[in-house]
Structure 1
Amino acid sequence: MINFEFNLPTKIIFGAGEIKRSGALAARLGKRAIVVIGQGSVKRHGYYDIAINSLRESNVDFLTFEGVEPNPRSTTIDRAGVIAKKEKVDFLIGLGGGSVMDATKAIAVRALADYPVWDFVRGENGGRPRPIIHALPTMMIPTIAATSSETDSGGVITNWERHEKCAIFSPHLSPKITIIDPGLTVTVGKDTTADGAVDIISHVLEGYLSGDPNAPIQDRFSEGIIRTVMEFAPKAIDKPDDLGARSNLSWCASIALSGIVNSGRGGNYPIHLLEHSISAHYDISHGAGLALLIPPMMRFTGKAVPQRLESLGRNLFFRTKINAEGTIILFEKWLESIAKKITFGEIGIDNAKFEAMADDIIRMYGGNEGCIVNPRPIYKKDIIDIFESVA
């Protein structure tokens, strides 16, 4: 186990119906807020009304910024940040899925800055990012079990004009308060539920394969989350109003990237780095892209650490003897059981941009060595080969 520091500054309120407390909790952060939402689902399902009525009851003044898109655009964030600055709001509330919460964090930075938000991601002309020295406080209310943005200190945003999708990180981005109300997720559709499940799994699988192999408690955390998601995602898909299944998925999502699981193990996120380029070019769901990439990345990395996949297989599938390929095959079967597509062709993407996406990945994340850090380093040719293997 490697040395680490761990801090979870977010106050978490968990349970069905807890959204009704949003006003009283928000009042602890200030008197005036912007409620950030997506493209209308929280209004259609009544969650927005519950939240704003609670704000009114607690005398919290608010504006609403509506229209955050999946893979949130830096231009959208800049527009919202200018409004937040002009209106002199005290804090922000992100009510929605991962894209809304990631955007809310980025808006919190832009509201106190005089620069485009992309300067804090990639820097001017792709140079060194500007340091994040402060941000407005945020409160998160997730409506999908997926990204862990409600408990972590980062977010992912997209520069659509440059087809770049990158993360923004800072301790200043950790939400002050998060309300995890699993009841808000019962209206999530089958495809989105499945995408969220894959996202949760990927968050703990990345470190399992690329981090310190001598971190058994972190591995048990990861295996427990993956097993729980594999058990309850199909239940939530089959019976969307199964609150027990939704609660387990919501808590798995929230702790997966909170720092609890991976502290002391480290590692990198190569599957995410490859997927970011796909959704930056094709605007597909993050979870859909991850479902394509997890099996071939397991095969690629597994050649360097086959014992990790063997351990994963024994503890996930209760097989006393299983090799790396056996683990991957069983995981692929599970993906197919929740109707996830595992080839580019199945989602209508051909190989026309494979080389361009590989170039983008190496340019943004390859560093001086021209490769992605991984137990088995990933070069441009490897990326193209990985893409081609699931074409």
Structure 2
Amino acid sequence: MPDTATVVAAATRDSYTRIVATLIRLTGDWDLAQDCAQEALATALERWPAEGVPGNPGGWLMTVARNRAIDVQRRMSVERRKLGELARQPPEPEAPAHDDRLKLIFTCCHPALSLEARVALTLRTVVGMPVADIARAFLVTESTMTRRLTRAKTKIAEARIPYRVPEGAALAERLPGVLAVLYLLFSRGYDADGEPGFADEAIRLTRMLPGPGEVAGLLALMLLQHSRRAARRDREGNLLTIAEQDRTRWDHAAITEALALLPATDGPYALQARIAACHVAETTDWPLIARLYDRLVTVVPSPVVRLNRAVAHGYAESPVTGLALLAEARAGGGLDGYPFALAAEADLTARAGSTGRAITLFEQAAAAAHSTPERQALLKRAASLAAE
């Protein structure tokens, strides 16, 4: 039988966001909602070992958190009407399709906030991450991050940002911003030195979003990338390329789900998901990948997409073609000192037969890498070429 801490952790994953979101809706106080949710979890850790785990852990936590909110608001002499409304709410509300969690996500990701504030507020309020951990992720002090979160919540209150899921044209307008935040959250967990829990949370939150199209595309993209998480490193912790990975360690259930979700549209996430699907196929169809990047670059003409397009054409046609496209991408700006641009040039150069130049480029890419696993992988490539 799992211990109490394990049961509380599972209940937290399942219910924390719903509890916080519901209390924010009922009280209008973001800090109070988070405090009461945390106190409910602490109470569970204290009482469940002696009293036993309740049949509905999430409902128990919701009731305790809501009752705590009532007590706090009573002591603070909050207006009686709001207190009465809060006390009359059902103890274990069921989550409807557009439930409070979705309202919370859309509020945290409102375009009136900066992208950094959206991500930080989502991590703190929706995911429940400690401020200290968020601060480390953004490379700032805990006090700085606390002030940023306070400013974001103050702006929501002062701007009277509505606590709801938009509909119709407003939903279509706001959804890309929400997807961008969730993909950034996923990427922070998928990176070599990232926190895997970020990726799991991003997938969970994306499943809540309404609508097909780009939502399905983003979910498919995340599932395809995350499906390889167990095979991305060897026993020593070194990063492995897809070609080096043990495919039996991939999450094939996630891959099957993702392939069934793939939309046939040309949205940015849909196109990236279809590219990712090519990489998990038995044989990599580089000509198809190159064509998909040709379409993606018209939708998202970013330096990184242009870089990836150059690599794809380098494999679909020839390394010389890839190097020419890479030079064009560099001329457009945004890739100076980017380690993956150096690594791509090194790989294409090696395949073109210039081993010495490729070794130098891999070493330069390693020097510019932002994480130890990436640096080690690039140096390994350089050493492998030198040994040939």
When the two structures are superposed, what TM-score results if normalisation uses the length of structure 2? 0.35
**Greater RCO, 1 or 2 (C-alpha within 8 Å, sep 6+):** 1
Instruction: Report which of the two structures shows the higher radius of gyration computed on alpha carbons.
Output: 2
Whose strand proportion is higher, 1 or 2?
1
When the two structures are superposed, what TM-score results if normalisation uses the length of structure 1? 0.35
Whose helix proportion is higher, 1 or 2?
2
